[in-house]
Structure 1
Amino acid sequence: MSRRQKTVNRAHARTRARGERANATLRTWKILAKLRCCPRRATAIVQAILVLHHVEANRYAG
């Protein structure tokens, strides 16, 4: 495997890991099961929730 492909794979893994953690957080709170609105509005709500979650988590991390 080339050095360029390894770099691309690492970048993809980092991006995917962030998405997986976000999905795990939302599943834990059962937000997606209760959300009943259009996909565009749901996306904005989910983004806001995750931003607040990360701000709060970073506040206590150090």
Structure 2
Amino acid sequence: MLHSLHDLRHSHASLLISKLGVQPNLVADRLGHEKIQTTLSTYSHLYPDQSRKLADQLEKLVEADEN
């Protein structure tokens, strides 16, 4: 349950990252963070799969080029 505007902001950012895979710079912009470091230090725990997803996408591109 949301208890404050801060909770709503945090939920919004978390959904953008975990469900939509939105890049940190876009999340920072939406939240009005002056520095991307603020966004990354607050929400970096939600990006653990991003490296794996990137590697998978690159692998698919290479496979497509080979065929």
Q: TM class by shorter-chain length?
A: 0.3 to 0.5
Output the TM-score relative to the length of structure 2. Answer: 0.30
Task: Give the structure, 1 or 2, with the largest relative contact order (CA under 8 Å, sep 6 or more).
Answer: 2
TM-score, with normalisation over the residues of structure 1? 0.33
Structure in which a larger fraction of residues adopt helix: 1
